[in-house]
Amino acid sequence: MAVVLSHWQHAHQSALMIQSFWRGFAVRKEIDSKFPNMRFIRKRLATANSNYSEDQTLTASFHRILQRLSKVKSISLLQKDIETLDRYAELSREICLHINENEWVIGTLINAIGSLNRSEPHKITLYSILGVMNSLLRNTGTEVFYGREDLLNIIVKNFRNFHSKDAKNNLIITRSITLLSLLLKDKVTLKLFKSDISSKQFVEKFIQPRENSILNTDILRCLK
């Protein structure tokens, strides 16, 4: 008897669920026929909710990365975290704003570049750090990078060290060119860079033979 009752309850619940789904479908179909924009609104709401959840997850993970960055001194132990930070900064303006609120992170990343060499793992780390900087400048226009001679020297050093035609080298050069282009939009940084005649001339000679792109053209125009 108990088995029969349990089976009946399960069947009853299933029937109610099917009826519920069907009613929902029928109601949505009727609403969509009367108000065509409702389907679009539902999709936008679903996307917004999805993005919100993703941002919340990114933010939680970001704060865990910050904790590790503040404790671990060896940058080689943080390679995966820096790669993740690069992806997060590219995906989410919210993450970029969080980084801006923690300026020590930017200082840590810039200082970390000085400890990197030209090994393959360090190339990946350098590429990721450059990506974080580019995302910050694009998404927030953070001023902490402007007027920094050490950062300009890093870019020039990248041009010197990674000029050979290698896939990873090309990626580093591309991000370095992007970073320089973004930095030179600031008048103080542009004036500072122009004052270093040797670096200015080197960059002009380095960029001119490369593929003609908007970024290269922008840099050469700025340096005239």
Average pLDDT, the chain: 81
Q: Is this structure's pTM higher than 0.75?
A: no
- Looking at per-residue pLDDT, the higher value among 87 and 216 belongs to 87
Task: Say what the pLDDT of residue 217 is.
Answer: 82
> Taking the CB of residue 156, how many other CB atoms lie within 10 A of it?
19
**Residue 166: is its pLDDT beyond 90?**
no
Better pLDDT: 75 or 106 = 106
Cα distance between residue 16 and residue 37, in whole Å: 30
Work out the pLDDT band at 214, boundaries 50, 70, 90. Answer: confident
Domains annotated for the chain, with CATH where assigned, are: 42-223 (1.25.10)
Model pLDDT for residues 17-27, shown as the tens digit of each residue: 666 655 666 66
